[in-house]
Amino acid sequence: MVRYAEPGTVEWVESGGGPLIAVPETVLPFWTGADGEETASDYDRACEVDGLVGLLPVGDATALVLGDEPAATAFLPEHGTLVRCVAAHSEAEVLASVPEALHTAQWQPEVQWKVPGELVLFDAAWPGARSTGTDHVRLALAPGRYAVRAAHVQPGPETWLVLVQFRPLT
C-alpha cells in the first residue's frame, strides 16, 4: 500500500495471500501455521473460515481469523477497529474515511470472543512462535469479552474497506 500519511501514523500488516489471524500472545506457540504435521494444518483451518471473520481454537484460547481476501490491515485503537484496505489511492484517504464508514456500515452478524490479553495479528501461514519475526501488528485489547462485527464499506468511489470492530461486552 502506498503510504502518504505521517510516517508511523499506523502500522500495517499484510499476508502472502491467505488470511490474517489474531492470536492471543499467551497461546502463540500452539499456532503451527502451514507447518502442521496433520492432514489439515492450522493454516488450512484458517483458510476454511467462511466470511469476514471467524473464530478458531488455539491452545486453551480462541483466535480471530480475518477471512474474505488478503488486504493490508491496520488497528486503529481509537475506534477499536481493524481497517482492511481492499482498494484506495492513499493511506491518508483510508484513514480519513474511517469515521464516516463506521457510522454508515451495514454490519454482518457479530461473534462473541473472549480475549485473554494482548494479541498478535499476522499471516496465518506463519507458526505463532515465529510470528513476531515477520510482518505483524500487536493489538492491545484489555482482557474480557468482545462482540466482533465486520462490514464491507465503500466510503468513496474508488475506496473499498473491510472494517472489523471490537466492542467490549459487560
List Cβ<8 Å contacts ≥24 apart for 96-104. Answer: 97/155, 97/156, 97/159, 97/161, 98/155, 98/161, 98/163, 100/155, 101/153, 101/155, 101/161, 101/163, 102/163, 102/165, 104/153, 104/155
Q: What is the pLDDT of residue 100?
A: 94
pLDDT band at residue 8, thresholds of 50, 70 and 90?
low
d(CA 163, CA 107): 9
Take residue 45 and report the three cell numbers written for it: 483451518
pLDDT of residue 111 exceeding 50: yes
User: What share of the chain in percent tops pLDDT 70?
Assistant: 93
Q: What is the pLDDT of residue 38?
A: 63
Angle formed at CA 43 by CA 40 and CA 45, multiple of 5 degrees: 55
Q: Is 51 left (phi over 0), alpha (psi -120 to 50) or beta?
A: left
State pTM to two decimals.
0.91
Contacts of 74 by beta carbon, 8 Å cutoff, 6+ apart? 10, 11, 12, 13, 82, 83, 85, 137
